[in-house]
Structure 1
Amino acid sequence: MHSLTLSSDNHHDIAAALAGERWIVACLCAAWCGTCSSYRATFDELAARHPDKCFIWIDIEDNADVVGELDVENFPTLLIQHGEQVAFFGTMLPDAGLAHRLVQAQSAHSAEELNALTAASEERRQWQRDCNLRTLLRAAHT
């Protein structure tokens, strides 16, 4: 399965795809970013390697109504989330091997380990408040 692409027309479909306890891997990019454009094929390959997870491509400018409050410092930025818990939010080098290892490492955490990690630092606690993609999508519909 390739990644899904968030658009103004499919917010409800994406929100439905994110339901449940699946792992979510979102790439936050911008159309004008050359690095992002070249990373798209790599992101789709990563999605094919992890068919049990939901991969979403999000242009942060076209979808500012959903992700406008996220503090994206550089591109590409990955957001990895399980259920309501954000496990990772940060800039990722456009390297397929590195991204694959990151996804594997995050999804290998037990529920207890993930609970501990999400509360381990102020930065990670802030991710829970500000970066939860499911919450952002719900808020965009209200």
Structure 2
Amino acid sequence: MHSLTLELDNRTEVAAALAGDRWIVACLCAAWCGTCESYRAAFDALAARHPDKVFVWIDIEDQADVVGDLDVENFPTLLLQHGETVAFFGTVLPDPAVADRMVQAQQAVPDAEQARLAQSSDERRQWQRECNLRTLLRNAG
């Protein structure tokens, strides 16, 4: 399975895909970004290697009403979420091997430990309040 692209006309479908217990891996980028453009094929290949997870490509300008308040400092920015717990939010090197290792490492952490880590620092608590993709989609206009 390739990644989904969040569009104005498929938000309901994407929200449905994000429901359940699968891991969510979202890439936040921008159409004008050359790095993002070249990273897209690698992100799709990563999605194909992890068919048990939902991969979502989000253009932060086209989907500003969904993710506009997120602090995206550089591209690509990845968001990894399991259930309602945001496990990671931040800029990563545009290297698919780095993203693959990150996805595998996060998946290996037991749920109870993920929950503990989610509350372990101010930054991680902020991720829980502000970066939950399911909540962001529900609250979008």
Q: TM-score, normalised by structure 2?
A: 0.99
Aligned residue type for 1:108: A
Aligned length: 141
Match of 1:92 in 2: 92
Structure 1 residues 103-134: Cα deviation after superposition (integer angstroms, max 9, x where no partner) = 00011110111011101100000000000000
User: Secondary structure of 2:19's match?
Assistant: coil
Match of 1:123 in 2: 123
> Displaced runs of 4+ in structure 1, greater than 6 A?
none
Aligned residue type for 1:24: I
Structure 1 residues 33-54: Cα deviation after superposition (integer angstroms, max 9, x where no partner) = 0000000000001001110000
Root-mean-square deviation (CA), in Å? Answer: 0.6
Aligned residue type for 2:131: C
CA distance in 2, matches of 1:97, 1:75: 16
Aligned residue type for 2:38: S
Match of 2:68 in 1: 68
Match of 1:77 in 2: 77
Alignment pair present for 1:39 and 2:35: no
Aligned residue type for 2:103: V
Alignment pair present for 1:12 and 2:12: yes
Q: TM-score, normalised by structure 1?
A: 0.98
Structure 1 residues 34-84: Cα deviation after superposition (integer angstroms, max 9, x where no partner) = 000000000001001110000000000000011111110000000000010
Structure 1 residues 10-49: Cα deviation after superposition (integer angstroms, max 9, x where no partner) = 0111000000111000000000000000000000010011
CA distance in 1, matches of 2:74, 2:104: 23
Report sequence identity in percent. Answer: 74
CA distance in 1, matches of 2:4, 2:95: 20
User: Secondary structure of 1:17's match?
Assistant: helix
Q: Where does structure 2 lack aligned partners over 5 or more consecutive residues? A: none
